[in-house]
Amino acid sequence: MSRTPVLAAGLSVLLVSAAMAANVSVPAMAQPESITVAPNGDLILGSSSSPKIYRAKKGSEQADLFVDVSADGPVSFLGVLSDAPTNTLWACEIYTTSSSSRHSSLRGFDLKSGAAKFRWDLPGEQNLCNDFVIGPDKALYISDTMGGKIWRLAPGASAAELFSDDRTLLGIDGITFIGDVLYENNVIFNKLYRVPVDASGKAGRPVDIWLDKPIKGPDGMRAANGKLFLTENRAGKIDAVSVNGETASVTVLQEGLAAPTAIEPFGDTLWYGERTADVAHSMPLPK
């Protein structure tokens, strides 16, 4: 079904025809919360409703089971990230018990076979491993939504160290770099921040980025072509964000989506996922 471009009042909206896009489906009720792309172009999708991760071969419209950690009990997955240099698929494994405390683990799987190879349990009574990014220093930076922290896993380390702990980080979700500048968004307070880092590598207090349009439920976020690409899970939108110092302009690329939480640029393609529709789509990556 094609979508007709619409110009919404007060918004700069660029809608892409679905006829141009590829679609990849996962089994019903899998609810893919995050997506990433393997070096060979395979699409990998984590399930927020089950202990499974799915993989669609390049060009396929259907994802098949790739990782199953059912033996871990009532768990599911949030962020997934392909790390080609270390042949690792990073994933946030969430323990979905009815307990008032919430716990999660950073998991690493072989990117080719799906075999388990790494586990680090986030500390604290309340934590939520949500998303991550590989920094220019080759370390993995991990957002902890409920703990209000950013953790840093150095290359080859067996455990992450605390990188940033600030009250503005309660609700942190998407995290990414543009060059050597670290950005994070806040899914609770609908904010975008820059995280300053000094010459010694120590993080300072996050700096609030003023957006020219409001965002609702910023979730998955990645960078490409000098821009941020993010999902608005409560507004059903995919955005491109151009940052200039402490201000930024928001351009809507797609709207009317069912709880979009996942986004991933790869080559000249931008992938994005609708969690409650159990599907991922692609569009040409804006320059």
pLDDT tens string 38-80: 999 999 999 999 999 999 999 999 999 999 999 999 999 999 9
Determine the length of the chain: 287
* DSSP track, 86-140: GTEEEEEEEE--SSSSB-EEEEEEETTT--EEEEEEPPSSB--EEEEEE-TTSPE
Stronger pLDDT, 4 or 287, i.e. the higher one: 287
- Provide the 8-state DSSP code for 215: -
pLDDT reported for residue 21: 54
Q: Are 196 and 203 in contact (CB under 8 A)?
A: yes
pLDDT tens, position by position, 122-177: 998 899 999 999 999 999 999 999 999 999 999 999 999 999 999 999 999 999 99
**15 pLDDT higher than 90:** no
pTM: 0.91
Residue 11: pLDDT over 70: no
Q: Decide: 130 and 143 in contact? Cβ < 8 Å.
A: yes
Domain boundaries, the chain: 18-278
* pLDDT over 70 (residue 4): no
Asked if residues 31 and 49 have their Cβ atoms less than 8 Å apart, the reply is yes
CATH topology of domain 18-278: Methylamine Dehydrogenase; Chain H (2.130.10)
d(C-alpha 23, C-alpha 25), whole Å: 7
Residue 102: its pLDDT value, please?
A: 74
Count of C-beta atoms within a 10 Å radius of residue 233: 24
CA 127, 128, 134, 136 dihedral sign is: negative
Instruction: Indicate the burial class of 118 (C-beta count within 10 angstroms; 0-12, 13-18, 19 or more).
Output: middle
Average pLDDT value over all residues in the chain: 91
pLDDT score at 100:
58
Q: Which residue bears the tokens 């009574």?
A: 125
- Shortest CA distance to 271 belongs to which of 31, 28, 45? 45
Q: Report how far residue 238's alpha carbon sits from residue 230's, in angstroms, rounded to the nearest whole number.
A: 6
Pairwise CA distance, residues 208 & 212, whole Å: 13
| pLDDT of 236 higher than 90 | yes
Angle at 106 (CA atoms; ends 102, 108), nearest 5 degrees: 150
169 phi/psi in degrees, rounded to 5? -85, -10
**What are the tens digits of pLDDT across the range 77-131?**
999 999 999 999 999 999 977 555 678 999 999 999 999 999 999 998 899 999 9
* Helix, strand or coil, per DSSP, at residue 71: helix
The first and second tokens of residue 118, run together, are: 């790494």
d(CA 186, CA 198): 22
